[in-house]
Amino acid sequence: MRLPDDTVARLLESWPVARLGVTRAGRAPLVLPVVFASAVGALWSPIDGKPKSGAALARLAALRAAPAVSLLLDHYDAEWRRLWWLRVEGAASILAARAETLPALAGVEAALRRKYPQYASTPLFAEDPTLLRIVPERTASWCAGDAALAAAQGAGKREEL
């Protein structure tokens, strides 16, 4: 059973974490957790001030070589009747987060700060202000049934997942 369009839209607004998949030549895909916000028709993920492994920025090199990415939003639950997932495929680009290269910057920043109060204390950008922009091209979704649908529709209210 697919998730209804309004639930998909709400999850893309409010779900706090996605797992980003990026193709790598001759190697297993890069999969990593990211925060993101929806603004001006795209999904945005900052290279923020959370501590990073050096390898984490491998995402930039991988993305430049293979911009077709997937973002998975999902909910795991020991009660399997509540399982659901939503996958967005899209084209990713890497943007310098400066007003002259990104006219929508103010709106994107506001969306990220509204969604993540953590940015009051964690820098929104690491040294070189950088954002991933993912323009959704296709979505796929699944939920286990009515209990899962109810869980997905109540999303965004839980603090941990």
Residues 63-92 within binding reach of its own copies (CB under 8 A): 68-72, 74, 76-78, 80, 83, 85, 87, 89-90
Give the binding range for its own copies (CB under 8 A) out of 21-29, 38-46, 93-101, 124-132: 21-29
Interacting residue with its own copies among 19, 95, 125, 139 (CB under 8 A)? 19
DSSP symbols for 1-56: -PPPHHHHHHHHHH---EEEEEEETTEEEEEEEE--EEETTEEEEE--SS---GGG
- The string over 81-111, giving b where at least 16 C-beta atoms fall within 10 Å of a residue's C-beta and e elsewhere, is ebbbbbbbebebeebebeeeebebbeebbeb
Does 55 sit near its own copies (CB under 8 A)? yes
Judge whether 61 and 68 are in contact, CB under 8 Å.
no
Does 105 sit near its own copies (CB under 8 A)? no
Q: Contact residues for its own copies (CB under 8 A)?
A: 1-2, 16-17, 19-24, 27-33, 50-53, 55-56, 68-72, 74, 76-78, 80, 83, 85, 87, 89-90, 118, 122, 140-142, 144-145, 159-161
